[in-house]
Amino acid sequence: MEGNDSRMAFEPPRRLVRALAETPYHGVDEAGDWLHRLPELVRQAVELRGLTVERVQAPGGRSSVVLLVRQADGTPAVLKLAPPRARPESERTALAHWNGRGAVRLLTPAGDGGRDDDGALLLERLHPDLSVRSLPEARALLEAAGTLRRLWVEPPAGHVFETVAGRTGRQAEAMRAGAAAHEDVAPLVDAALAAREELLAAPPGELLLHGTFRQSKVLAGERMPWLAVGPDPVVGEPAFDLARLVRDRVEDLIAQPSGAATTRRRVKRLAESLEVDQERLRGWTLFRAVESGVRARRVGRPQDAELLLEFAGWL
C-alpha cells in the first residue's frame, strides 16, 4: 500500500482480524462491518489529511490498524483507525489532555481545520518496532513504571471517561458467567470478585489512567526516550493501572521454578517504587489476571487462559 491513491489495495493485519472476530458485540457483527468498510475509511482519512502512506504497521494492534504516513510537508506521522467499540474518541480526549506528557502526541495536520471527527487519530511517529519490552526484564519494568507515573494526572473537568468501577462491573458479569460454565475456575473468580468489592468500598483519589498499560505499549521516541501508546483510558486509582504491568512476560514467570516468589517480589517492588499500596496492587492484579484468564478461555485461547489463571493462583 503506497501513496494516497484512492485505488490502492489495502489488507488489514491478520492479528487485528483474529482479535476482532473473538469479540462479537451483543450478537452483532460490528467488527465485521467495520473491517468491510476499512479500506474506504482509510482512503477517506488519508485524503482528508493530505497524507502519503508508507506502509501498514504489522503485526499491529489487536483493536486498531496503524499506518506509517507522511504529512504534506514530509513530516513522518502515524494514522490510527479503530472501530467504535475501541472508543477512539476516548483515546483522543486522553491524548489531548496528556499533550505529550508521557504519551504519544496527538497531531493536527496543517490545513485540516480541526476536522478529526472520523474516528481516526493522527499521531507523532515513534519507533514502532522498538518497545520497552526489548530491554532486559529489570530495566524494562523500571522504564515502564516511570512512563506510567507521568500519565497519572487529574482528569479534565467534566470528563466522560469510563470509571474503574464501571469497567470492572461489566467484566464481573462475564466472569460470573464463566465461573458458572467452568466450575474449576469458580474459586479464583470468587476471590477476584471479593477483592474487587473490597477495593471499591474505599477507593483512594481518582486519576486519569492508561487503562491497558504493559511493556509493549511503551515505544521509543525522539523527544523522550519512552512514550506510552494505545490507551483505553479510565478514571480510578493508580493501583488498577499498575496491576496489568505486574504480570508482564507472564510466560517467563510461569516457566521459572521460583515464579510465585518472583511475582510477589514484583508486586512489592512496583508498589514501593510508585508509592502505591501493596495490598491494593495485589488485589487488582488478582482481579485483572482472573478476568483476562476467563476471557481467554471464553474466546478459545486455552493456553493463555492456563497461564493467566496459574499466575492468579500465586496471588
Query: Tell me: the pLDDT tens digits for 222-238?
Result: 999 999 999 999 999 99
pLDDT score recorded for residue 35: 84
**102 to 111, 170, 212, 218: CA distances (angstroms):** 27, 29, 15, 9
Average pLDDT over residues 202-223: 95
Last residue of some domain: 102, 125, 148? 125
Residues 217, 298, single domain; the answer is yes
Residues 139, 117, single domain; the answer is no
Name the band, by pLDDT with cuts 50, 70 and 90, for residue 110: very low
- The per-residue pLDDT of the chain, averaged, comes to 89
Of residues 29, 68, 38, the one with CA closest to residue 51: 68
Residues 140, 87, single domain; the answer is no
Distance CA 134, CA 233 (A): 25
What are the residue ranges of helices labelled H in the chain? Answer: 14-21, 30-49, 88-98, 137-151, 164-181, 186-201, 238-246, 250-255, 259-273, 278-298, 302-313
Query: What pTM value is reported for the model?
Result: 0.90
Cis peptide bond N-terminal to 109, omega within 30: no
**8 lies in some domain:** no
User: Does residue 258 or residue 26 have the better pLDDT?
Assistant: 258
Residues 203, 81, single domain; the answer is no
**157 lies in some domain:** yes
Of residues 165, 294, 147, the one with CA closest to residue 219: 147
Average pLDDT over residues 72-78: 95
Residues 267, 202, single domain; the answer is yes
Residues 164, 22, single domain; the answer is no
Residues 118, 149, single domain; the answer is no
**299 lies in some domain:** yes
- On whether the CB atoms of residues 64 and 12 are closer than 8 A, the answer is no
Distance CA 98, CA 219 (A): 16
Average pLDDT over residues 284-300: 95
Largest CA distance in the chain: 59
Which is it for the CA torsion 190, 195, 201, 203, positive or negative?
A: negative
pLDDT tens for each residue of 5-43: 434 556 777 777 776 766 655 445 676 788 888 899 999
Of residues 164, 152, 275, the one with CA closest to residue 210: 152
pLDDT score recorded for residue 116: 60
Q: H-helix or E-strand containing 65? A: strand 65-70
pLDDT tens for each residue of 142-151: 999 999 999 9
Which is it for the CA torsion 284, 288, 291, 294, positive or negative?
A: negative
> CATH number of the domain that 294 lies in?
3.90.1200.10
The total domain count for the chain is: 2
Last residue of some domain: 65, 99, 125? 125
The torsion angle over the Cα atoms of residues 216, 218, 219 and 223, rounded to 10 degrees, is 180
> CATH number of the domain that 92 lies in?
3.30.200.20
78: β partners: 68, 123
Residues 156, 267, single domain; the answer is yes
**226 lies in some domain:** yes
**Percent of the chain that is helix, strand, coil (3-state, to 5):** 50, 15, 35
Q: Can you give the residue range of the structural domain that contains 104? A: 14-125
**149 lies in some domain:** yes
Residues 303, 163, single domain; the answer is yes
Residues 144, 273, single domain; the answer is yes
Answer yes or no: is pLDDT of 105 > 60.
yes
Of residues 177, 10, 172, 157, the one with CA closest to residue 97: 157
Least confident of 127-131, 189-193, 231-235: 127-131
- On whether the CB atoms of residues 135 and 220 are closer than 8 A, the answer is no
Name the band, by pLDDT with cuts 50, 70 and 90, for residue 272: very high
Answer yes or no: is pLDDT of 71 > 50.
yes
Answer yes or no: is pLDDT of 282 > 90.
yes
Last residue of some domain: 79, 97, 125? 125
